[in-house]
Amino acid sequence: MTQRVPTELKRMRGNPGHRSLPAVVIALPPIHPTTGPELTSELLRTYATAWIAESDRFLLGLVADAWDERARLMADISTNGYGDGRYTRTEVLRLRQVEENLTKWLSQLGLTPTDRSRLGIAEVKAVSKLEAIADRRAKRLGRPSGSRTSPPARLDTAKGTSSGTISRRSAG
């Protein structure tokens, strides 16, 4: 079974198959945070708030803590080195674990192109077919597209007539 290729990757490769690609709706701006809380505030300031919910606060806290630990480990490694060739320092091994966890948590939050496409966020049709039909109908009737002056007529099942509202039968 072949693995699905994200649309962003197809765009970067130049779309060699020349198949039509959907329009990009969400592109996250690049961020360069230095601390964990700065990272989470930047994430919540971008378009990611469209899909990151209040229930994701715990995961955002884990990401912030791991980001701070990563910065500490990278500073230590840049000062003291990776090891002497015979062994790798424990800080280097811990950095690998932290970065694996960060990648996993950021993926769970939908912050990688592959995960955004899985969530249906990265590539979305600009106008659905239903909206296009409604816009064509509005043009035909001489109304501005996207506006509706009255609700659609519905069949009143209690009276057997058509009206602008739905009647409800009273209980009892």
CA torsion sign for 68, 70, 76, 78 is: negative
Higher pLDDT, 138 or 102: 102
Looking at residue 172, its pLDDT comes to 47
- CA 77 from chain centre, in angstroms, equals 33
Percentage of the chain with pLDDT > 70?
Answer: 69
Higher pLDDT, 170 or 111: 111
pLDDT tens for each residue of 124-169: 444 567 777 888 888 888 877 655 544 444 444 455 444 444 444 4
Q: Which helix (H) or strand (E) holds 156?
A: strand 154-156
Spell out the alpha helix ranges (H) of 2-143: 7-13, 36-45, 57-80, 90-108, 113-119, 129-141
Residue 83, beta-bridge partner list: 88
